[in-house]
Structure 1
Amino acid sequence: MTKNEELTQHYNSHYVDLASERIGGETLACSDDFFAEMENLLKPGRGIFIDDKYTERGKWMDGWESRRSYGRDNGREYDWCVIRLGIPGVIYGLDVDTNFFRGNAPQTVSVEACVSEDQPDESTEWQTILSQSPVDAHSQNFFEISPDKTKATAWTHVRLNIFPDGGVARFRVYGEARVNWNDFVDGELIDLAAIKNGGKALLVSDMFFSDKNNLIMPGRGKDMGDGWETKRRRDPGPDWSIIKLAAKGNVQKVIIDTHHFKGNYPDHFTLEGTVSDSDDFTGGENVDWQPIIPKTKLYAHREHLFLKEIVADKAQAFTHVRLNIFPDGGVSRMRVFGHRVLDK
């Protein structure tokens, strides 16, 4: 495994890409995107290259690419792109990926952030979270961000600056979600597992076919690749996924969705919960897991609603849940609805 592969795995395992278009990240404005649109920055995967594909403006590129600025001569000392994060959050890492931008990558980049309820404008106060730093062409360029742990800011927007111009294939903003609980109505059922509410997929037994975070993404899965799917076991199982809930809460309703999984859905599942101050789980073997839903049948390509099957006391609170699937297979989405419980 290369160093960049290790870093990608590290950031994807410990954090969420707060800027991803899958969770609502959006490019709002840029100085120039003559050759390639700014929206490409937040797409999934890494940029691709098609050798003989051109547009009327020039070579088609899978990323954001500005025209040559010629420095101060035309009033653009550098190019920039403003991005609204899909989830406000604390930022711990950045990936400025110049994949396939070999002769047209920027020389250096910087990143600023702000907190704004509205779309940033000329009066917005930006704070630098990454000072001007060199980047390599045709490469992932990782930058660690070290926020003040005691007063870490939950940013809402970032601005990527590239000097003097050029192209970036993808831009990842890795961090932890910070939810404003005042946005919820008293008594409202909250999907405590949802990634947009601050839920976090901590650990899985296997994710051979697809990523663990898919389980708690918004919306229904678009295809079989947009879920959590394990390889075939040759023992009774189960495979499992541990989710840190967005907040300590009880469980009132659960949805298990096997959308698109027709020949490879799990036969049965259980759901368990625990209370823990730590996220340092291994397989959860030494954790006091309490039953929430006992072993229950699942069906292909179906959204399953569970209410009466919940055996946990409706007042009992959990900080983490573990979904166990027997013996293996694929689940598109899991929703865990409940009420936030505040410690007295």
Structure 2
Amino acid sequence: MKESSSKQEGGVYNPLCNMNDKGSCRKRKLNEDDNINNDINEEDNNLKRKKQRKDIKNIRQIMNIFNGIFNWIVSKGMNRIPCREIENINDVDFFNFNNVLSKHYGSRIIFVTDDSISKSENILGDDNKVGWITRRRRDVGHEWLIIKLKHPSIIYGIELNFDNIAEDVCPHLSIEVSENNSIDDIIKEEEFILNERDKVGNFTTFTKNEIEDNVGDNTKVEKNKDMENIKNLDILKDTENIKNEQTIKRVDNIKNIHGTQNIVNYDKNSKRKSYNFLDSYKIDKSISDLLEQQNTPWVELLQADCVDFLKTVGKKKTYYFKINNEDLIKKPWTHIRVNLYPDGGINKINFFGEFISIFKKHTIISKQKIFLNKPENGCTLIYYHCDHIYKGHPKYIIDSYKTDGFCTRRLINRPPIILRTLTNNSICNTSIFKFGVRGIVENFSIDIGNYKYDHPECIQIYLLDCIDILTLNLLEQKKIFEEDEKLLKKKIQWIQLPPFKITTTNQKKTFFHFNLLEYNLTHMERTATHFKISILPDGGISQINVIGTVLSTSL
């Protein structure tokens, strides 16, 4: 009985223990169990600590590997940053070039996810209109737009302006470029599908089979086009989606209703101000797939993490970025994509570069006369040196949209009484332009416009024919001419044309023609890739046009 009772109490039978020592035996047994449990727990804790130390060691090793890889990528990619910010405006070396993004040259917005507050087209203008400002985005994604350039263009620098939109500045933005004219077709196709879908109430479409089912199994659509048109019209009139005579009239005028889909509730205003994420993603995916298939993917010019624009709000309104990758300034681009992260706005965007002339690949002398000086044909200001410009810019004299050209200040060393010409005492006000192609010059047309009382006394024009310089990029050409103009004895051999004097006997006359054919100059003497113009002693010019024909070139 003792043995059984002892076992029933849960203890191990010990013959040395009597009934009086029953409590002490139980206590000893509990202490032994506690010691065993403590030993087990301590072993478990030791195993856990060993495992944790091992895991920490493995994590540290993995982190060291990733840090090494990251540092290697950063060190390898330091020279591959597409562009860098220029803090000092005096260090900007691309202001001479044309703003290829200007809407005056034909650039336009072909897609934008949202411009509910301010139109996206405003970023392309030179006026005082507030730029592109989007809604406050509440769904996933970010705002973006695509710009189509009128002509393929090479980009050397970017200017971003955030004036007048301090409360709507986007935190970050990135800029991408591509060369593929098929982007336009993809966007038109996808927008057409979305707009047609939106014409239907509640995004509902009616197929031919659905119309037949609504009428009944006994109703059949006749093969005759006219009968089918009438029957479908009667069915559509019974639906809740047709509620006005204008829509009924549109359905009455439908011809050839034999497609698989008939859309109702037509909306005249098909231009959308905003796209949700799914719609914009569908268009984005279609464009990306096309570019990947044709091996013309988006190339990043400006990285999203280059600047945090919110940190400099109120302190800085304009940012300048120079393309740092030489491979990027060798390629012409047709489309530009601007991404705002996640929303906000930007006032103006300027892209400085050159247009690629459509005549660049000509291999024979063209009989068609063109304006060799037009930016659209590739003409660009390379270098200029003026005493002081108080109005305009020398690059405006070749731009038909900038009618004011430029004007210098009055000669500071002019005598109290003018006794003879001042051309010999003048400071050299020189501008050098490059043509988009090699051409044969026939005529110069000079317009003094608003400067008929501030015109120069004499205009000196020089021509240069040098394909080797023309094949270089604009920055390299600028460096060559800048160094040569500093020399007293020039290394570059310009052909000096007869000086052209402007007479003002007729105050109403502002156009002057300088015809080279009247000077018996040969074709070789009139062949040029560059031209230089100097105004003596000072004054202003509104426009200058260079008319000629395209010569064969190896470009």
State TM-score, norm by structure 2.
0.52
Instruction: Tell me what 2:528 maps to.
Output: 318
Residue number among 287, 299, 309 corresponding to 1:136 in the alignment: 309
Q: Which has the higher helix share?
A: 2
Offset at residue 275 of structure 1 (A): 3.0
Instruction: Tell me what 1:281 maps to.
Output: 481
Summarize deviations over 1:157-205 as a string: whole Å, max 9, x none.
2111101100101111222322232798932222222212111112223
Residue number among 429, 435, 438 corresponding to 1:248 in the alignment: 438
Inter-partner Cα distance in structure 2 for 1:292 and 1:117 = 42
**Alignment CA distance shift 1:150-1:90 (3 Å):** closer
Offset at residue 34 of structure 1 (A): 1.5
Higher relative contact order (CA 8 A, sep 6+): 2
- Whether the 8 Å CA contact 2:437–2:553 is kept in 1: the answer is no
Instruction: Tell me what 1:12 maps to.
Output: 95
Summarize deviations over 1:62-108 as a string: whole Å, max 9, x none.
11100100241xxxx11112212244212222223222332321111
Instruction: Tell me what 1:269 maps to.
Output: 459
Sequence identity percentage = 22
1:145 aligns with 2:323: yes
Residue number among 328, 333, 337 corresponding to 2:538 in the alignment: 328
**Alignment CA distance shift 1:148-1:35 (3 Å):** same
Offset at residue 293 of structure 1 (A): 4.1
Aligned length: 319
Matches within 5 A, 1:101-120: 101-117=165-181, 119=184
Offset at residue 242 of structure 1 (A): 1.4
Measured on the aligned residues, the alpha-carbon RMSD in Å equals 2.9
Inter-partner Cα distance in structure 2 for 1:151 and 1:214 = 23
Residue number among 302, 319, 324 corresponding to 2:510 in the alignment: 302
Higher gyration radius (CA): 2
1:337 aligns with 2:541: no
**Alignment CA distance shift 1:310-1:199 (3 Å):** farther
Secondary structure of 2:434's counterpart equals strand
Residue number among 449, 459, 462 corresponding to 1:259 in the alignment: 449
Inter-partner Cα distance in structure 2 for 1:293 and 1:101 = 52
- Whether the 8 Å CA contact 2:130–2:347 is kept in 1: the answer is yes
Q: Which has the higher strand share?
A: 1
Summarize deviations over 1:262-299 as a string: whole Å, max 9, x none.
21112222211123444322337513221334333354
Matches within 5 A, 1:53-92: 62-72=130-140, 77-92=141-156
Inter-partner Cα distance in structure 1 for 2:445 and 2:456 = 14
Secondary structure of 1:6's counterpart equals helix
Structure 1, 138-147 or 314-323: larger mean CA deviation: 138-147
Secondary structure of 1:269's counterpart equals strand
Amino acid at match of 2:138: Y
Amino acid at match of 1:242: I
Inter-partner Cα distance in structure 1 for 2:502 and 2:163 = 45
Gap runs ≥5 in structure 1: 48-60
Secondary structure of 1:215's counterpart equals helix
Secondary structure of 1:10's counterpart equals coil
- Whether the 8 Å CA contact 1:104–1:167 is kept in 2: the answer is yes
Instruction: Tell me what 1:231 maps to.
Output: 409
Summarize deviations over 1:40-64 as a string: whole Å, max 9, x none.
201227x6xxxxxxxxxxxxx7111
Inter-partner Cα distance in structure 2 for 1:101 and 1:310 = 56
**Alignment CA distance shift 1:309-1:297 (3 Å):** farther
- Whether the 8 Å CA contact 2:359–2:377 is kept in 1: the answer is no
Matches within 5 A, 1:108-257: 108-117=172-181, 119=184, 121=187, 122=283, 123-124=286-287, 125=291, 126-129=297-300, 130-133=302-305, 134-137=307-310, 138=313, 139-149=317-327, 152-181=330-359, 186-206=366-386, 207-219=389-401, 221=403, 226-233=404-411, 234=414, 235-236=422-423, 237=426, 239-257=429-447
Summarize deviations over 1:231-289 as a string: whole Å, max 9, x none.
11135335322111222222112111112222111222221112344432233751322
Amino acid at match of 1:27: I
